Structure 1
Amino acid sequence: MEKKKKTKNKKRFTWVNLAQLLTVAALLLWMQWAVNSGRVLTIFMASPTSIVEEGIKIITDGTLWPHLLLTIQEALAGYLSAVVVGIAVGLLWTLFPVSEKYMNVFCSAIMAVPKVAILPLLILWFGIGFQSKAFLVFLFSVFTILYNTVTGAKECKKEYLKVARVFRANRFQTVFLVIIPAALPSIFNGLKLAAATALTGVLFSEMQSARAGLGYLLTESQNLLNTPRMFFLIILITLLSVGAVKLIDAIEYAISYRWRHV
């Protein structure tokens, strides 16, 4: 019975994938037909062939690489800083609950401030260069990681904590050997959410005040009414976001596998 269920699930999964591919193919064919037939003007939508041609053009002539590298550097700097601070503060709140009572009000207030509103201030403080972009990414990401860390730590089963007390584990041993492994799913969920918002933050900042980066390139394409380039950049940004989430998934699997086999 179990073998039959597994084969059924596999067949269903295969058919779902096939349906997804057919849907994407149908959409691409419709886009190509709509643009070529003149039903939709090229200023509003680009055909798949023109998107591919424009992508090959900016890749081969070297236009894309400096902007892509800068955006990745800004996103990584802000995101990694948010990971360190978010997890560290989350563990601090877990170790010392009084610190959470003290800091929670301030963190909630800062988190509630619209990031759009403080961008002019960040430009005044850090300029229009690397620092303001990285700091905005940090603000976009840190609270998601922080509160997911705290939520995961608080959801640790009481049975685990009782076993730690029986074995006379101190507070740090309880946190690092019991609470953190139990909180890993919630922590990684926060990391994945923050990875997507980090890219959003850096693009928004580049589109508002930058002379380089994918956000700047996207704004420039919009001003020039270069629709194929805009579509290509949107697809590239989407793939970067998906790739970041998949990378975090792989890291989560590797860490979880190692914890299970310690």
Structure 2
Amino acid sequence: MTTGIEIGRRVLLVLVDIGLADIVVSVLYIVLLAAVGVFVIQDGRHPAIENESTIVNQSTVTSYLEQVSIPPMLSFDTGVEISVWIILLIAVVVGSLSGFLGVGGGFLMVPALMYGLTMPGAVAVGTDIFQITISSAYGSFVYGQRGAIHFAMLLPLLVGSTVGTRIGAGLTDYLDDAELKTAFGVMLLIGSVSVASKTVSHTYGIELLHNLSLMLLLGGTLVMSAIIVILGFENIREEQLLAKQ
């Protein structure tokens, strides 16, 4: 991821110099968010345990990865063995997009871990958050050297994200993979539409679309967060009732 972030950063700076950074980043955001969002939602609605075709698709992806048997190899609880070099390649690609788009890479890394390496949703999220702690630190350092960090926003962002991460991490134990995938996919689709609205607004000067972009981003995030919290607490209550019985 760290190597990829450096590659993405250098590509972005080249595009900034020639004046194409904004449009390229926006289009790439829209395409990636929409594509990954649709894929994850489809899998959430028709999980592999219920849909034989999904099992075939997932096993096909994994089987291709398993064909690369260059040591050292890593074994997973699902019985899958993947070459470390494949994992490094995935990380470099995701890291490049992360450094280019200025995101943690979670919306790409989590699906890669779940579908390419057959990790359970909660394990994929936890693994990604842990590696982001280190790789993002490097990204912050190199961007900080260029004065590209708004330090006044750091404290409220850190406080809010820390509290939110703690709540979210606790709720993952009480949400099944289908619920997590569906919520994750819907968030990505909302983000895609929001970025598209903002891009068109800036290109053609349509103020209404700019406001729509903000409403979708903030409103969609609040609604989906509320749904996740409600589902999590409902599942907690159901488990407590079953325990009493």
User: Which protein has the larger Cα radius of gyration, Structure 1 or Structure 2?
Assistant: 1
TM over 0.5: no
TM-score, normalisation: structure 1? 0.33
Q: Tell me: higher relative CO, structure 1 or 2? Use CA pairs within 8 A at least 6 residues apart.
A: 2
TM-score, normalisation: structure 2? 0.35
